[in-house]
Amino acid sequence: MKLVAAIASLVAALAAQPLAVTEGRHRQVLADFDLGTVAGSCLVVKCQIFRGIMLTEEPRSGEPVAIKVTERLFGEPPTNETELVPYDDRVLKSGIGGTARTWARVHVSPRDPITVIMAQEPGPAVYAGQPALVTFDERETDLIRLVSDEAVRLKRAPDLISGEVGMLSPNSSPALAGYLMCYVMFSADMPRHGLAVELLLEMMGSPGIPAERWTSIPLLLIAYSGDQPEQRAAAIRRFAELAGREDDNAARAGFVGLRMIAQEAGNPVRYLIPPAALGMLAAKYRALVEKRVVDRSEPLDALLGFK
C-alpha cells in the first residue's frame, strides 16, 4: 500500500510539473513530454483512444457530451458509433486528475474534430470511465497518434522496449519519450524481472528525456531495485554522479535520489561513495540549497555533514 501511495504521489508530480524558466522550443519539448506521460498513464492500462465530432453544442457540468466517432486509434472497437464522455467545467479543487482537470486545459470547440483518451480501468492518475485527455488541437492529435502506434507495437512485441529506450536522443519525439518512461515505470508487460530498473537507470541521465523530468524517476527506481543489491548500488552511484553535474536540473534529480536513500534505515550511501566524492557533494548541496534549487532535508544534512 505504501508503494501504491508513493506511485500516486509520483503521478501527481508528473501531472503538475512546474515548467523551468525556459522559452521557445524547450518549453514545447516539456509540454510534449508531459502529454506523452498523460497518454502513457492511460495506455499502460485498458484504454480507448478515438477521434470524432462533438455533437453536444452546449456542454453542461455533470452531463456527458456526445461524440460521433470517426476513427479509432487504440483499443477494442465497441459496436456503438457515438461515445458519451463525462464533462465537468467546475472550478478545480483538489486531486491529481479527474474530469474537470482534463477539460480545463482545452478550449471547447463543438463541431471541430476532437481526440479523446478514455481510461477503461484505473491506473496511474487515470480513472475508469473518465477521460484522461481531450484535445481539439491537430498537432497534439498527431503526437497522440504517434504514441498510440508505439503502444500497439509494444503490445504485440514487449521485447522491443529495450531497443526503443536505447534509441532515445535529443532528436527523439518528446511525447514518445514521455510515453516510454510511463511504460517502463508502470506497464505489466515488461519482459523480465529487473528490466525496469535497468531501463530507468538508462533514462535517468538520457539526453532523450528532459532533465527537468528526471526527478520523477528515483522513487520507482529505488522501489523496484529494493531486492536487487547490485541494481540498488548502481542507482546510488547514478544519483551521486548526477548530483555532481553542473546542470542544476541533473543535480536536483541526483539529490532527490540520494535523499530518498539517505532516509532509509541502514542506508548504504557512505559505503558506496568515496569520502572525497561525498565532500564534493556536500559543497554542491550547500550551493544548491542557497540557490533554492534543492530543498534542505535532515537525511541529506546528516549524510553530507551540513550544519
* 299-307 long-range contacts, CB within 8 A, separation 24+: 299/259, 299/262, 299/263, 300/255, 300/258, 300/259, 300/262, 302/262, 303/258, 303/262, 303/267, 303/269, 303/270, 303/278, 304/278, 306/282
Kindly write down the DSSP assignment for every residue of 36-84, as one continuous string. HHHHHHHHTSSEEEEEEEE--SS--TTSPEEEEEEEEEES---S-SEEE
Please state the rounded mean pLDDT for residues 38-55.
94
pLDDT band at 5 (very low <50, low <70, confident <90, very high): very low
- Predicted confidence at residue 275, as pLDDT, reads 84
Q: How far apart are CA 186 and CA 124, in angstroms?
A: 8
How many Å separate Cα 243 from the centre of its chain? 21
- Predicted confidence at residue 236, as pLDDT, reads 92
User: Please, are residues 119 and 126 in contact by the beta-carbon 8 Å criterion?
Assistant: yes
pLDDT band at 251 (very low <50, low <70, confident <90, very high): very high
The whole model's pTM is what?
A: 0.88
**All structural domains of the chain with their residue ranges:** 196-307
Q: Give the contacts of 242 (CB within 8 A, at least 6 positions apart).
A: 204, 205, 214, 250, 251, 253, 254, 257
User: Please, are residues 92 and 100 in contact by the beta-carbon 8 Å criterion?
Assistant: yes
pLDDT tens-digit map of 73-86: 999 877 778 999 99
